[in-house]
Structure 1
Amino acid sequence: MPPAPPADRVAPLHWRALLAAAALSAALATALLLPGALRCALWREHDCRASIGLKGGIGLALLLWGLWLAAALTQPLLPRAGVARRWGLAVQIGGLTLLFATLNGVLHTVGVPDGRLNAYTLQMLLTFAACVCLGLEYRQRGSLGQADAERLQRNEQTLARQLDEARAALLQAQVEPHFLFNTLAHLRRLARTDAQAAHAMLADLRRYLAAALPELRQAETPLARELELVVAFLALHQRRIGPERLALRYEIAPGLEDVIVPSTCLLTLAENAIKHGISPQVEGGEICVRAGPDPEAPGLLRLEVADTGAGMGSSSGSGTGLATLRARLAAAHGAEAKLSLHLNQPRGLIARVQLPWPGR
């Protein structure tokens, strides 16, 4: 939306305004001449010599249009606001009245036929000048009011967007990797029983933290970074609960490394799969991470984390992590982004995020 012009530049000199003023002047001149013309047509005894003919009507229309044009040209010269503008408006009306009273003396369009200045002519020209100047003044005030309203609307939209970004950042900051406590406890136990396994798990933890900490400070990230974070996260869990209880699989379409996605979105889905899908089962299961074009909705990117765990339960989808992710998606993309849960086959759950894919 373009910015509104300043107060001293709101002048109705566009060609459409000129044509509208000409049409209005012609209509007003016709309305002024019509009573006299009707009297001449209906009452033959009426003296029509004082009536204004077609030539006089055209002159009256030109006089009114010239009055409007002069008011439009002098309006930007008025003071900007306050008492000074009111006095300037009064001077403008008086000056235009005197100017066009002199011009009317030449054209003989208003008043007596000989063009002499009298109270009737002065009153009529003063009325015309006041209507034109005040009309232009109110038109300018309306334009400026509309411009102010549009500016306030733009500011409101900007503030709303900033509020959404701040809310998303706050929601994202609330997502804490609670599994770190369990990981550190397991690492302490391994340090007492299997130093080599503890060393490997510590390396996985270091790789996860190196990927996770920068992402927690950003709202968006390339998909390659997000996958690096998820791979490190799942590797830690696989080492913690055992590879015999957690199998991992990745199905990533090529060419998606630089696609921008909400940071920690896949991580949230992976956390949900571990917590509600794999951990409740003694035998564990498999987690598959997928990313690619949505086959059912062209123009969307589909991110999925599918597990063969406990499946849809009473708490599925009601956790803080998924609720936070939904709020972040709504704040960033509105209705274009969606988080949904689906039953997996033969068992388990699929958590799916659909995102707009600009440029596809």
Structure 2
Amino acid sequence: MPDTAVHRFALLHRRSLLAAGGLSLALGMALTLPAGMRCVLATVRHAELSCHSGEIVGSGLALAALLWGLWLGAALTEPWLPRHRPARTWGLAVQIGGLALLFAGLNRSAHFLGGDGELGPYSLQVLLTVTTCVCLGLEYRQRAQRGEASAEDLRRGEQHLARQLDAARAALLQAQVEPHFLFNTLAHLRRLARTDARAAHAMLGELRRYLAAALPELRQAETPLARELELVEAFLALHQRRIGPERLTLRFEVAPGLGEVIVPSTCLLTLAENAIKHGIGPQVAGGEICVRAGPDPDEPGLLRLEVADTGAGMGASSGSGTGLATLRARLAAYGPAARLSLHLNQPRGLIARVQLPR
């Protein structure tokens, strides 16, 4: 517990004072209840005797004042106890003894325990027992609160580490996005510069658009869907320039009003890369890639992102790549509703589908 005035005297807040007062009053009146019952029974048996209820109530209030005073004294002295054992154990013993002696002295004038203020051995034993219960009760309450605070700190630390792990996984995924495609693009651009300057100029514009969309995403774990679509569009346009528009047809079907929805960064890029590498690339004739985004028609409340190709279809290694495995691990942070699945496309090809809570 920090050594500040706010934390030192946290037990002296109004709510704590009122709770301690109410509990002390209830205990004080409960302790005088047997005496009140004996008084009533004695009055019934001996009519000449009179039961002074005012004295009984006064005794209960005095006991309540004693209990509340002991609690207040323990609350005031608790912050000054040593924090580490065994020094704290000795500190508790000194606290209990000191408060018992203090209230034994105060009893001479306040008459907490009744009588003329002089305490006999039994009354001293009662006072010491009550003081011990109050001090130890307060001590264990403080230990429980410190334990709960430590558990909360551990929980927050665990959540922080989990966020850091997710960010590291995202960075790993982004670092694993096929770097050789960039080298292939530059090599193709170099060949075009020698044979078709106009096509080279157009491809250079696509490369610039891709890099402008990709570079801001490198350090982010999440991104608006509009930026993710911009990145995927630039990525696929580059590949279309590289392998030829006659071998790769592109189509985008995006529902309106979803541009600001937050999605894992590079999630669609991973699916598009997988479609190029395993779907369109192996086929001489090429094919079509369709990128879709919209509300899930089967599960309301979910966002469905898809990359469908008309390529080679599902093979033995489909879905086992590092990129898809890392994407699945990242989706786990969004809860059980977030998942990645692969489906056969009709009449051929593969559909990679990501479902996310909106």
Is the TM value for this pair above 0.5? yes
State whether structure 2 residue 33 is matched by structure 1 residue 26: no
**Residue equivalent to 1:351:** 352
Q: 1:144 to 1:217 in 2, by over 3 A?
A: closer
Distance change (3 Å), C-alpha of 1:101 and 1:64 = same
Q: Give a deviation string over 1:308-353, Cα, whole Å, max 9, x none.
A: 111111111111111122222224x233422111121222111111
Deviations 1:1-33, CA, capped at 9 Å, x for gaps: xxxx72421247354444333333333444688
Question: C-alpha separation between the residues in 2 aligned to 1:119 and 1:215?
Answer: 79
Task: Give the whole-Å Cα distance in 2 for the aligned partners of 1:122 and 1:190.
Answer: 102
1:18-167 counterparts in 2 under 5 A? Answer: 18-30=21-33, 57-78=56-77, 79-82=79-82, 85-86=91-92, 87-104=94-111, 116-167=118-169
Q: Which runs of 5+ in 1 are unaligned?
A: none
CA distance in 1, matches of 2:170, 2:221: 8
CA–CA distance in 2 between the matches of 1:290 and 1:72? 67
1:203-228 CA distance string (max 9 Å, x none): 22222122212222222222222222
Answer yes or no: is the 8 Å Cα contact 1:101–1:125 preserved in 2: no
1:286 corresponds to:
288
SS in 1 for 2:9: helix
Q: Name the structure 2 match of 1:330.
A: 332
Q: What is the CA distance between 1:307 and its match in structure 2? A: 0.8
The residue aligned with 1:239 is: 241
Aligned equivalents of 2:116, 2:219: Cα separation in 1: 85
* In structure 2, C-alpha distance between the alignment counterparts of 1:6 and 1:77, rounded to whole Å: 12
Deviation at 1:88, TM superposition (A): 4.4
Matched residue type, 2:104:
T
Alignment partners' CA distance in 1, 2:324 and 2:206: 25
**Number of equivalences:** 341
Secondary structure of 1:180's aligned partner? helix
Distance 1:146 1:32, change over 3 A: farther
Q: Normalization by structure 2: what TM-score?
A: 0.82
The answer (yes or no) to whether the contact 1:294–1:301 under 8 Å persists in 2 is: yes
Computed over aligned residues only, the root mean square deviation of the Cα atoms, in angstroms, reads: 3.2
SS at match of 1:280: coil
TM-score (structure 1 length as normaliser): 0.81
1:167-246 matched pairs, under 5 angstroms: 167-246=169-248
1:286 positional shift = 0.8
Give the secondary-structure state (helix, strand or coil) at the position aligned to 2:16.
coil
Taking the aligned partners of 2:209 and 2:119, their CA distance within structure 1 comes to 96
Q: Which amino acid is the alignment partner of residue 7 of structure 2? A: P
Contact 2:74-2:95 within 8 A present in 1 as well: no
User: Identity percentage over the alignment?
Assistant: 65
Report the counterpart of residue 3 of structure 2 in structure 1: none
Q: In the alignment, residue 81 of structure 1 is paired with which amino acid?
A: L
Who is 1:264 aligned against? 266
Deviation at 1:95, TM superposition (A): 0.8
- SS of alignment partner, residue 292 of structure 1: strand
Alpha-carbon distance between aligned partners in 1 of 2:194 and 2:304, rounded to the nearest angstrom:
43
Give unmatched runs, 5+ long, in structure 2: 1-5
How far does residue 281 in structure 1 lie from its aligned partner after superposition? Answer: 1.6
Distance change >3 Å, CA 153–CA 235, structure 1 → 2: closer
Supply the distance in 2 between the matched residues of 1:165 and 1:318 (Cα, whole angstroms).
22
Give the stretch that moved more between structures: 117-126 or 276-285.
117-126
In the TM superposition, what is the alpha-carbon distance from 1:101 to its structure 2 partner? 5.0
Which sits farther off after the overlay, 347-356 or 17-26? Answer: 17-26
For 2:75 and 2:118, the matched residues in 1 are separated by 32
Shift of 1:258: 2.4
Separation in structure 2 between the aligned mates of residue 16 and residue 76 of structure 1, nearest angstrom: 13
Q: Which whole-Å CA distance do the structure 2 matches of 1:130 and 1:102 have between them?
A: 22
Per the alignment, in what secondary structure is the counterpart of residue 251 of structure 2?
strand
Contact residue 223 and residue 261 of structure 1 kept, 8 A:
yes
Question: Structure 1 residue 142: deviation in Å?
Answer: 2.6
C-alpha distance in 2 between matches for 1:168 and 1:18 = 55
Structure 1 residue 40: Cα displacement = 7.6
The amino acid of 1:338's aligned partner reads: R
Shift of 1:288: 0.6
